[in-house]
Structure 1
Amino acid sequence: MKKMFGMWVVVIVGLIFVLSACGEQSQEDVVEKLESNLESMNGYKAKAEMTMNTGQEDQKYQIDVWHKKKDLYRVELSNEQDEEGNQIILKNEDGVFVLSPALNKSFKFQEEWPQNGSQPYLYQSLVNDILKDNEAEFSTSEDYYVFETKTNYQSNNNLPYQEVYFDKKLYTPVMVKVLDKDRNALVQVDFSEFNTDPTFEDDDFAMEKNMTSGMADAPVSGEGETDPFSVIYPQNMLGSELVEESEVDTENGERVIMTFSGDKNFTLIQEKQEVATTMNSPKMVEGEIVNLGHAIGALSDNTIEWTSNGSNFVLASEELTRDELIEVAQSVKGKEVK
């Protein structure tokens, strides 16, 4: 009888060992696999939808990501409400650029994007955030491996955490939730496609190709009907109020200068310009790329510049902090048709 009992113990222990060997991957196993995938792939193409919950109503953006090893990136962001507002973050051998092809406008940055901060739509950024966070939390569900990590958003200190969901079979990102201090999801990225064996044309990351492809359907000066110029005001004025608004006709279009005074003084300039027929040289920026939710902006010193809804915007202040500049710029969404 004792011999039979002993055999059953051996069998049960063996089954437990087999089941554990065939069971869930550990956090270390998953991290190792993610690193291995990142190292072995030559690039990827991904499509995703980004939902911003930072305003009164959600804003959705389509994101098309191309990455070619080692350091070539093309991230296109678009939304249905702003047909002229497609923007491309481009990194090639010549530098880092933000392109607004429909307006023939481009910025060149002196910065180490994307390594200098979290990027919720880039695979390597998500993996690097996991590797850097020694306190990252790990869990599993039926279909996903889930990590909660700290983030590094230099332009937004209100988003300190993120949840990253990876497909259990492919180890590719499925969903990212960027969280505020109370663990509320303010940004969500849902991946619909992720191709780890893509093909690229030789000039896919060339600035000229990316600029001219977006200008193909853009109206040329003097052609077609002109849309009414809509002045767009900030919804968050940080205790200040609009005290002066002046209009100026320029050689290239219309310009509105808005002066705000109160707790903090600042100026917002909006300019509607005709699209040039030839490609201009990019404007150099001694600053960084910031995601304003409704647009990609260029932050430098006391100024943020961006394009949206066919207009160029410049927000400037000697009194607003860097975070306050971003906060006001993010709220420039309300419209009033002149």
Structure 2
Amino acid sequence: MKKYFTVGLVIFALVILGACGEKSKEDVITKLEKTLEEMSGYQAEATMELKTGEKEQSYDMDIAHKKKAYYRVLLKNNQDEAGSQIILKNDDGVFVLTPALNKSFKFQSDWPTNSSQPYLYQSLVSDILNDKDATFKTTENHYVFKTKTNYQNNNTLPSQEIYFDKKQLTPVMVKVLDQDDKVVVKVSFSTFKLDPKFEDNMFEMDHNMTSSLFGIPVAKDVAEKKDEELKVLYPNELLGSTLAETSEVDLDEGQRVLLTYEGEKNFTLVQEKVTAYPTTVVSPKMVSGDPVSLGFTVAAQTAASIEWSYQGVDYYLASKDLTKEEMLEVATSITTQTTK
């Protein structure tokens, strides 16, 4: 009798353990979908590390989302404070703001739904749902998915690993991988709060351009740079072209250099440095393209051009021959080469 009683206890214990055991892939996906549907929004802080080129870049990030279509992503560039940026989406459109330089772009864009965004909760969940071949595993503290990515103009980052906290099912870490499964982008979340209360002006452009937020300076806090000369950079990736002509222009408040490349793929690269930043908020520049990440900054890209600011220099790359992906290749290679 004692023997059968003991066996019964073991079976009962196994049943209880099975009922309280690990969630399946389907269980976790169902819970993620439910959270996404029921939440009013979220706010998170994270660090994004970028291992592209010769230098590693890092950003501190503050990410806010209010249903259904309000977003604010503060990116504090630890190597270029004046180049820190804000990606903003509200009823008026999609904006990329650089408050310290008093610069802003306005896009007619489907961002952020048009490509993967490793720092946005709904983008991560969407990538999991859209990949029927996504793999799933558990660790002591995390549920881990490996999925395909959706970067429209970049095929060099085909997959990502997404780590969720087991208790809260909130994102903890995202690793974006290259074709060799090496980590190129790593997002580490330090906080993630569901259903926060936001100030009424949190997603307004003027508020974000004129208020120092998350350590991001605004124009009135940045000193003028009258004595610094433009240090011209040259791209490593030329796609079969060579430098054919260089022309320099002295501006009233700065310098401009135009580099013309000719060959298999013709393109022009303009670099301009201003010595004084405007002190009043100007209207955003309209762009018929999308905000894209160059790794070290967010750029504005159209079908035939891409422009961005970095370390006090404005860059403009234009070409009728380069594809969007090729423009990104040339643009990202510019920061990895020293001046000639």
For the aligned pair, the TM-score class normalised by the smaller chain equals: over 0.9
For residue 219 of structure 2, the aligned residue among 215, 218, 240 is 215
State the alpha-carbon separation in 2 of the partners of residues 272 and 150 from structure 1: 39
CA separation of 1:118/1:286 partners in 2, compared to 1, >3 Å: closer, same or farther? same
Shift of 1:178: 0.7
Query: 2:57 maps to what in 1?
Result: 59
Shift of 1:11: 3.3
For residue 126 of structure 2, the aligned residue among 125, 128, 139 is 128
TM-score for the superposition, normalised by structure 1? 0.92
State the alpha-carbon separation in 1 of the partners of residues 294 and 201 from structure 2: 29
Shift of 1:228: 2.9
Shift of 1:136: 1.1
Equivalent residue pairs, number: 333
Q: Greater share of strand residues, 1 or 2?
A: 1
Give the aligned residue type for 2:192.
Answer: F
Query: 2:93 maps to what in 1?
Result: 95
8 Å CA contact retained: 1:61, 1:79: yes
8 Å CA contact retained: 1:236, 1:328: yes
State the alpha-carbon separation in 1 of the partners of residues 99 and 277 from structure 2: 9
Confirm whether residue 302 of structure 1 aligns to residue 300 of structure 2: no
State the alpha-carbon separation in 2 of the partners of residues 159 and 337 from structure 1: 28
Moved more, 310-319 or 52-61: 52-61
Give the aligned residue type for 1:110.
Answer: Q
Shift of 1:226: 3.6
Shift of 1:182: 2.4
Query: 2:265 maps to what in 1?
Result: 264
8 Å CA contact retained: 2:260, 2:267: yes
State the alpha-carbon separation in 2 of the partners of residues 20 and 271 from structure 1: 64
Confirm whether residue 179 of structure 1 aligns to residue 181 of structure 2: no
| 1:233-248 aligned within 5 A | 233-248=234-249
8 Å CA contact retained: 1:231, 1:335: no
State the alpha-carbon separation in 2 of the partners of residues 77 and 189 from structure 1: 12
Q: Which runs of 5+ in 2 are unaligned?
A: 212-217
Percent of matched pairs sharing the same residue = 55
Moved more, 6-15 or 23-32: 6-15
Shift of 1:184: 1.7
Moved more, 326-335 or 84-93: 326-335
Give the aligned residue type for 1:333.
Answer: T
CA separation of 1:226/1:336 partners in 2, compared to 1, >3 Å: closer, same or farther? farther
Give the aligned residue type for 1:318.
Answer: K
Query: 1:76 maps to what in 2?
Result: 74
Q: Which runs of 5+ in 1 are unaligned?
A: none
CA separation of 1:224/1:159 partners in 2, compared to 1, >3 Å: closer, same or farther? closer
State the alpha-carbon separation in 2 of the partners of residues 33 and 325 from structure 1: 40
Moved more, 247-256 or 5-14: 5-14
- SS of the equivalent of 1:233 reads coil
Give the aligned residue type for 2:250.
Answer: D
State the alpha-carbon separation in 2 of the partners of residues 278 and 181 from structure 1: 46
State the alpha-carbon separation in 2 of the partners of residues 105 and 200 from structure 1: 25
Give the aligned residue type for 1:135.
Answer: D
TM-score for the superposition, normalised by structure 2? 0.92
Query: 1:286 maps to what in 2?
Result: 288
